[in-house]
Amino acid sequence: MQFVRYSRSPALCPVTSDQTYPSGTPVVVLSQRGPELAETRGEIPSDHPQAQQQPAGQLLREATPEDLAAAAHLAQLAEDLKWALRAHARSLGLKVKIVQLEFTLDESLVTLSYSAEERLDLRGLISEVRSFTPARVNFMAVGAREQAVVLGALGACGRENCSSRFLQELPPITIRMARDQQLPLNPDKLSGPCGRLMCCLQYEHDMYNELLRDLPRKGSRACHTGSGACGKVIKLHPLAAQVDLATESGLLAGVPVSELEIQRGKPGRSDAQSSGKRER
- The answer to whether the beta carbons of residues 36 and 28 sit under 8 Å apart is yes
- What's the average pLDDT block by block, 10 residues per block, for the chain (280 residues)? 90 90 95 95 80 85 97 96 95 94 96 93 92 94 91 88 90 93 90 92 94 90 89 92 90 89 57 40
The gap from C-alpha 90 to its chain's centroid, in whole angstroms, comes to 30
Residue 144 host element (H or E) = helix 144-151
Q: What pLDDT score was predicted for residue 253? A: 87
The domain defined by 214-274 folds into SH3 type barrels. (2.30.30)
Which of the 8 DSSP states describes residue 168? S
pTM score of the predicted model: 0.74
pLDDT of residue 109: 97
Note the pLDDT of residue 105: 96
78: Cβ contacts below 8 Å, ≥ 6 apart:
100, 101, 102, 103, 110
CATH 3.30.300.20 in the chain, residues? 68-142
Burial class (CB in 10 A: 0-12, 13-18, 19+), 115: middle
What residues does CATH 2.30.30 cover in the chain?
214-274
Query: What is the predicted pLDDT for the residue at 203?
Result: 94
Given this model, what pLDDT does residue 264 score?
Answer: 59
> Positive or negative CA dihedral for 130, 134, 136, 139?
negative
* Predicted local confidence at residue 3, as pLDDT: 92
Phi, psi of 113 (to 5 degrees): -90, 130
- What confidence score (pLDDT) does residue 249 get? 84
CB 79 within 8 A of CB 42: no
CB-facing half-sphere around the CA of 44: CA atoms within 13 A: 20
Percentages (nearest 5) of helix, strand, coil residues in the chain: 30, 30, 40
Tell me how far the alpha carbon of residue 159 is from its chain's centroid: 15
pLDDT on residue 267: 45
Residue 274 burial by CB count (10 A; 0-12/13-18/19+): exposed, middle or buried? Answer: exposed
Longest dimension (CA), the chain: 82
Q: Is the Cβ–Cβ distance between 269 and 215 less than 8 Å?
A: no
Contact 51, 14 (CB under 8 A): yes
Dihedral of CA 107/113/119/125: which sign? negative
- Element (DSSP H or E) covering residue 179: helix 175-180
Question: Does the domain formed by 68-142 have CATH 3.40.50.1260?
Answer: no
Beta strand 250-256 with 35-43 is unpaired
> Contact, 122 vs 97, CB < 8 A?
no
